[in-house]
Amino acid sequence: MEVGLTHLLFVSTALFFIGVFGFLTRRNMITMLMSIELILNSVNINFIAFNKYLYGGNLDGVFFTLFLIAIAAAEAAVAIAIIINLYRSHSSIDIENADEMKF
Amino acid sequence: MFFLIAAFTLITALMSVTEKKIFRAAIYLLFSMMGVAGIYFWLNYDFIAAVQIIVYVGGIVVLIIFSIFLTQQVGRAMEKPKRLRVSFSLLAVLFAFAFCFIIIWQNEFTNVEESSVELTANTIGEQLLSLTGHGYILPFEVVSMLLLAAMVGCIVIALKQVPVTVLKKEKQNSTLS
């Protein structure tokens, strides 16, 4: 069976919605961060697949993927700094316990 | 071969979001990232696959594991999410997935062409840093500034807060001496 663009898009869509499912069900900040990483990875697969199958002569998708990876690294680092700071003040990283800023 | 890699990636991702123990979830996430790198290898995008392994597997997942060690008791299972929440989010996710995939399935992709550019680190570097045509020098600089800002921000956020009284005392000492 020939593997085409549709199969790659199936994989990336499934990965995206697995990440969304984790984001909706989990209540722990670190596991929510892991779900966000899955979502960003699915976007990367999309860029690479479109670059490979539809715009073979260009490299634009590759650059977008590289920038996305850099931004994901920065985002993870900042998020973990915030989580550790929150753990110091609340001694818990459950999302339900951090509700001081509600109204 | 592609189906094997894709199934591996999706199954480990699913286990990563449903696993009860947080440390095991992080390890499954690591395998899922390796699967994504395998997809890039299968597509002959070797450089992207190498970057994926270095940054995600070697950087982000290790960072997540360290923060798990700092904030959790590793062996303890997390509490179960509420059944109502699980069923509703499962429903929403399945509907959204079906919707998106039907659109993709019915779409006819025109001008499908295989990649013709030789994708080496050399060509990527030259186009990334060129000023003319399809050069990407400006986003490159912006991303480097973003990384610097993120680094400084992390240090400031995670810094141990010095209590105000200590600061006042230090000020008095410095004015006295």
Residue B155 structural domain: 127-177
The two tokens of residue A26 are: 């989990």
Residues of B in contact with A72 (CB under 8 A): 55-56, 60
Domains of chain A, CATH where assigned: 5-91 (1.10.287.3510)
Check residue B30 and give its pLDDT. 93
pLDDT by residue (tens digit) across B49-78? 999 999 988 889 999 988 888 887 666 667
Residue B119 domain flag: no
Neighbours of B7 (CB within 10 A): 12
- Higher per-residue pLDDT: B174 or B23: B23
pLDDT of residue B133 exceeding 90: no
Tokens of B11: 């199954």
Nearest by Cα to B115 from B44, B170, B60, B172 = B44
Between A44 and B139, name the one with better pLDDT.
A44
- pLDDT band of residue A82 (cuts 50, 70, 90) is confident
Could you tell me if B39 lies within 8 Å of chain A, comparing CB atoms? yes
pLDDT tens across A59-71, in order? 888 889 999 999 9
Residue B139 lies in a domain: yes
Mean pLDDT on B136-144:
88
Q: Rounded to an integer, what distance in angstroms lies between the CA atom of residue A70 and that of residue A53?
A: 24
- ipTM value, please give it: 0.88
CATH code of the domain in which B41 resides: 1.20.120.1200
- The total domain count for chain B is 2
Shortest CA distance from A33: residue in chain B: B64
Q: Is residue B85 part of a domain?
A: no
The shares of helix, strand and coil residues in chain B, as percent rounded to the nearest 5, are 75, 0, 25
pLDDT at position A16, please? 93
Mean of pLDDT values over A23-38: 89
At B141-164, the pLDDT tens digits run 899 999 999 989 888 887 776 666
B93 lies in a domain?
no
Band of pLDDT at residue B112, cut at 50, 70 and 90: low
Do B74 and B139 belong together in one domain? no
pLDDT in tens, B80-93: 778 888 888 899 99
Q: Do the domain assignments include residue B88?
A: no
In a domain, B107, yes or no: no
Tell me if chain A has a CB within 8 Å of the CB of B151: yes
**B65 and B6 assigned to the same domain:** yes
Residues 60-79 on A with a CB inside 8 Å of B are 60, 62-63, 65-67, 69-78
CA distance B10 to chain A (A): 6
| pLDDT value for B96 | 92
What is the percentage of chain B residues whose pLDDT exceeds 90?
A: 28
Mean pLDDT on B22-39: 91
Among residues A30, A31, A23, the alpha carbon closest in space to that of A82 is found at A30
Q: Determine the pLDDT at residue B117.
A: 64
Alpha carbons B97 and B93: distance in angstroms, whole number: 6
Q: Quote the percentage of chain A above a pLDDT of 70.
A: 96
Q: How far apart are CA B1 and CA A20, in angstroms?
A: 27
pLDDT score for B75: 64
Strand-pairing partners, residue B21, are B77
